[in-house]
Amino acid sequence: MIAFIRGTVAAYGADWVIVENNGMGWRISYPHTDTVRLNQNISVYTFMHVSENDVGLYGFESQEEEEFFLRLISVKGLGPRTAMNMLSRTNYRNLIASIEQGNVATLKSIPGIGAKTASQIILDLKGKLVQTAPEDQKYTPAVAEACDALKNLGYKQGEINLAAKVMSEQAGLKTEEYLKIGLQALMKAKMGG
């Protein structure tokens, strides 16, 4: 219904932001309030959730994060508030990595997520969150070679895609250096950091 709101930050709290747009203040549940400041111009992708007892507007930094949120709330027993809490605790890419790796312990470490819910999230979403098409075309030959090395080490395509994004943030390195960065990123994601 409301795809995004662009405006000025009028106020914010621990898990919400009010964006002023054309004289209207939109109160949006937002997981990244640590990155906003008053009077900052901001664009927030939004999803309106309507239930019997509540109407809520949920905001995201990117469309990818919003898509991940929609996948989360499709899990039985996982509502939008819990999904938002998950996104406020860690980067959505780390959550995707944890789900793809079947890491119940990392998901359980998030307040409000018990063992049963963590297992259900993994059961419902594992293998459905990442593009399986090779993304090597976007990367330099050295990054692509490092991705091939990760594949040979037994990493799944979803994990390789996450590592490739981190590796491509550095320019002009050798394949071995990219591989080291990729392995560190995967280890960090596995540990939930």
- In this predicted model, what pLDDT tens digit does every residue of 138-174 receive, in sequence order? 677 888 888 888 888 888 777 888 888 888 888 888 8
Please state the φ and ψ torsions of residue 178, each to the nearest 5 degrees.
Answer: -65, -40
Q: Is the pLDDT of residue 70 over 90?
A: yes
- pLDDT tens for residues 85-110? 999 988 888 898 889 889 999 999 99
CA 170 to chain centroid, in Å, comes to 21
CB neighbours of residue 78 within 10 Å: 19
In this prediction, residue 192 has a pLDDT band, given cuts at 50, 70 and 90, of: low
Amino acid at 73: I
DSSP letters spanning 36-78 = --TT-EEEEEEEEEE-SS-EEEEEESSHHHHHHHHHHHTSTT-
Model-wide pTM > 0.75 = no
